[in-house]
Amino acid sequence: MQLSRRTLLAGLASLGLTPFIGSVATPSSVAQQTPTPNASSQTFRIGVPARALTTDPAITNDVETHRLARQVYQNLVGVDHETGETIPALAADWTISATGRKVVFELEEDVTFHDDTKLTADVVVENFERWGNVDELLGDELVGRLPFSVVFGGYASEDTCLLESVEATDDHEVTLTLREPVQNLIAALTHPAFSITSPESWKEFDAALADGLPMVALAGTGPYRWGEATEATIGLDAVEADHDVAVLTIPDLHERLYGLTTEQLDVFDGVSPPVLRELVQSGYQVLQRDPLAVLYLGINQAHPVLSNLHVRQAVAHALYRTDLVDSLQLDGSYVAHQFNPPSLLERSDDVVIYNADVSRARNLLDVAGYDGEPIEFWYPTGAERVYMTQPQKLYAHLSGRLAAAGFNIVAKPVAWDDGHYISQVMDETTNRGLHLFGRNFFVRDALYVLAELFEQPNGEFGWVNPTVTEALAAARIEDDPDTRIALLTAVEEAISLDLPAVPLTFPITALASGHDVDFYPISPVLDEQYARVQLT
């Protein structure tokens, strides 16, 4: 549900922050407000476009959950802030056997979780076992493919899983044995879903799963621990940091801007063109991330009309994606013709490009025998995503182009809250025809998003291609770089032919920082450590 202003004010007050009241209808009124001083010089306040769904990053693909997990937990392997290379974190070192089938991690000693549990090899083994059995843990609540399954090819109970065993071979030594070598495994383990948490803190969390994804605190080893959480705010209490953090969920772009201009936010994420000029004129810094996200239009092939390839091709040709980029996204964003940006996988000449051509779209609909049957177009409400600001305007732009080509489009706004939108677009039993969605890249590997979206049958697209499944499974273990690239390129080509989805853009995502922020650690994979933020 849409967060009410009353809820937002109560959330601010619960964290000891001065509430703000903005006017969405008349944003110019923001300038008439009297700025208030910072509520606390020891609290970093960030406004985000959607609320984290849970405290356990292993059981969801939610961007906001993963963003906060990086503050509270640590992985075996970290990412160098300057180079992006993998570096030791909870694992002081690791070795990979000549065959690639054994990976040995040497753990840091004298590490303690927030609940006073000691980091040992047994604790790490329990974490791997939990990740591998997350499908059984969630049961019917499992939505989409989760990171363990993507990285290892399946869950522990599935024959496709490449992780044969994980053992504590010494007090601070963990050995992974693989059925086949998993390429880029070390880099994949930097994903926030592989955060190490204390098993002692799981009991209450797991018991609460019966009522949906819970916000029950798990214990980590990071610079923050979970603080007070309300519907509108999540607090992070400093353990080894100079300041606490208040994460405020503010779905409306102009409300986020108002919070910054009245100095009640230090930073807000989800900058988009309508507020860019005001930010620049007011002297705020706009920090842009490299385009490591993809926005796409999902197509449900289980829909009786969209099961026809000619209709899906008509959808692709009806879209004026260049206009979408120019009018609704930040400079530097660009049209996507495949799901991986060129920095991860160069586009092959055999990837089909669907240029905007309304006449061709109409001809394809005639060939398909389309007779004006209604097609529901779903888009989220009550939240934005880092990769999808202004979803209602995105919908309006795309649906207008589709209507001009002859489609009978029916708007279907669906509330984002509590994972409702995610679960609904993954449900093949709905009447959904089209939907807006996207992905942030947490791992710099062209396999990752392709495997998450397309390797296994799922309800989002109503599509499965055995050749794609085989190619992705082969790429997961292929050690020859050229052969691996060829496999992944073939997958992109197959997707462009079958059209389970139309990649729209690789958006530039951006964050605005206030005058009291000296440094914010911007990262294309959202590895933005709040402990590194420097406040004046």
Backbone angles phi, psi at 466, to 5 degrees: -55, -35
Q: How many residues does the chain have?
A: 536
- CATH 3.40.190.10 domain locations along the chain: 5-51+231-289+510-535
Token digits of residue 471: 């190619």
pLDDT at 15: 46
Element of type H or E holding 168: strand 163-170
Cα torsion angle, 484, 486, 490, 493, sign: positive
pLDDT at 39: 42
CATH among 3.40.190.10, 3.40.50.410, 3.10.180.10, 3.30.980.10 for 5-51+231-289+510-535:
3.40.190.10
Distance from C-alpha of 194 to C-alpha of 190, rounded to nearest angstrom: 7
CATH among 3.40.250.10, 3.40.1670.10, 3.10.105.10, 3.40.50.1370 for 293-506:
3.10.105.10
Q: What is the DSSP letter of 38?
A: -
519 DSSP β-pair partners: 534
Low-confidence stretches of the chain (pLDDT < 50) are 1-40
Give tens-digit pLDDT for 467-486: 999 999 999 999 999 999 99
Burial annotation 59-69 (CB, 10 A radius, 16+ → b, else e): bbbbbbbbbbb
Distance from C-alpha of 69 to C-alpha of 408, rounded to nearest angstrom: 42
pLDDT at 44: 97
- Helices and strands of the chain, counted as H and E runs: 17, 21
Amino acid residing at 281:
Q
The tally of CA atoms less than 13 A away on the side-chain side of residue 22 is 24
Q: What is the DSSP letter of 388?
A: B
pLDDT at 14: 46
C-alpha 344: how far from its chain's center?
Answer: 17
Q: What is the DSSP letter of 194?
A: G
Token digits of residue 401: 């182009």
Q: Which residue has the tokens 């092959």?
A: 348
Amino acid residing at 229:
A
pTM score over 0.85: yes
Percent over 70 (pLDDT), the chain? 92
pLDDT at 35: 32
Residue 2 near residue 381 (C-beta atoms within 8 A): yes
Cα torsion angle, 454, 457, 460, 465, sign: positive
Give tens-digit pLDDT for 411-443: 999 999 877 899 899 887 889 999 999 999 999
For β-strands 408-415 and 374-381, DSSP reports them as parallel
- CATH 3.10.105.10 domain locations along the chain: 293-506
pLDDT at 477: 97
Residue 333 near residue 294 (C-beta atoms within 8 A): no
Distance from C-alpha of 108 to C-alpha of 33, rounded to nearest angstrom: 51
Query: Strands, E, within 216-277: which ranges?
Result: 224-229, 233-238, 244-249, 267-269
388 DSSP β-pair partners: 385
Residue 333 near residue 507 (C-beta atoms within 8 A): yes
Q: For the domain bounded by 73-199, which CATH number is listed?
A: 3.90.76.10
Distance from C-alpha of 350 to C-alpha of 198, rounded to nearest angstrom: 48
